[in-house]
Amino acid sequence: MSTGKLSVIGIGPGAAEQLTGAAREGLQEADLLYGYGPYLARLTLAAHQRAVPSDNRVEAQRARHALDAAAEGYRVAMVSGGDPGVFAMAAAVCEQIEAGPESYRQLELAIVPGITAMLAAAAACGAPLGHDFCCLSLSDNLKPWEVIERRLTAAAGCGLALAFYNPISTARPWQLGRAFELLRQQLPAQTPVIFARAITRPDQRIRVATLEDARSDWADMATMVIVGSPATRVVARDGRSPLIYTPRYA
């Protein structure tokens, strides 16, 4: 058996052409591929490879199992959607290495970046994140909602564009609506809001609204929500979707 290695690999937002060359190489060299089931389902495995899917709520357990397999000598890929360092598995793996046995710290570890949903969504609309911005997860599964509100209010108050991961789910149906309420207290009513769902995938859908009109039920867990800053511009284009950008001098 080859020397064990764990590669934490970002496979991008969904389309095969968004997979980087380094990520493709990392996937090809793996014996075992761990990850959230729908992410692994995007991949085509070779005959010698085996997928080990798991639920998206067991990240710590998934990381330990992958580290154990690498410690046994397997070449392991931990698959993340988007970029593994953005609300994904790289931090979960590092956490388990810090808390786990010495054998984890001796492993060869590679973090392979990918195109995160935030960047793919922004590119599909223009450059709404073209100047300073803040990226927030609206999930309160791992941090108190009070912390999210405080960070959200501070970021909006200092003129940053905002990108929201995990905006809403069946178990968390109210957070995005509350976020919009807070933003309406600080930002102009005509501030653009982008709802970018399943970017680069066959069911991609983009909806642009003003903050005044934005509704939380336009989003789900497959949606990236981007809220512009007061400086963000919307350029109408005849026969084409509007171009949304935040000037670099803002």
Tens-digit pLDDT string for the chain (250 aa): 457 899 999 999 988 899 999 999 999 999 999 999 999 999 999 999 999 999 888 999 999 999 999 999 999 999 999 999 999 999 999 999 999 999 999 999 999 999 999 999 999 999 999 999 999 999 998 899 999 999 999 999 999 999 999 999 888 999 999 999 999 999 999 999 999 999 999 999 999 999 999 999 999 989 999 999 999 999 999 999 999 999 998 6
Q: In what order do the strands lie in the sheet with 240-245?
A: 126-127, 240-245, 233-237
Cβ distance 7 to 76 under 8 Å?
yes
Give the integer Cα–Cα distance in Å for 103 and 13.
33
- Cα–Cα–Cα angle for 189, 236, 249, rounded to 5 degrees: 70
Helix (H) or strand (E) segment spanning residue 197: strand 192-197
Give the integer Cα–Cα distance in Å for 36 and 165.
17
Give the integer Cα–Cα distance in Å for 105 and 103.
5
- Cα–Cα–Cα angle for 10, 12, 15, rounded to 5 degrees: 140
Q: Which of 30, 89, 37, 87 is nearest to 59 (CA)?
A: 89
Query: What is the fold of 118-245?
Result: 3.30.950
* pTM passes above 0.85: yes
Bridge partners for 224 per DSSP: 196
Helix (H) or strand (E) segment spanning residue 164: strand 161-165
Q: Taking the domains of the chain in order of start, what are their residue ranges?
A: 5-115, 118-245
Give the integer Cα–Cα distance in Å for 246 and 244.
7
Query: What is the fold of 5-115?
Result: Cobalt-precorrin-4 Transmethylase; domain 1 (3.40.1010)
Q: Which amino acid is at 78?
A: M
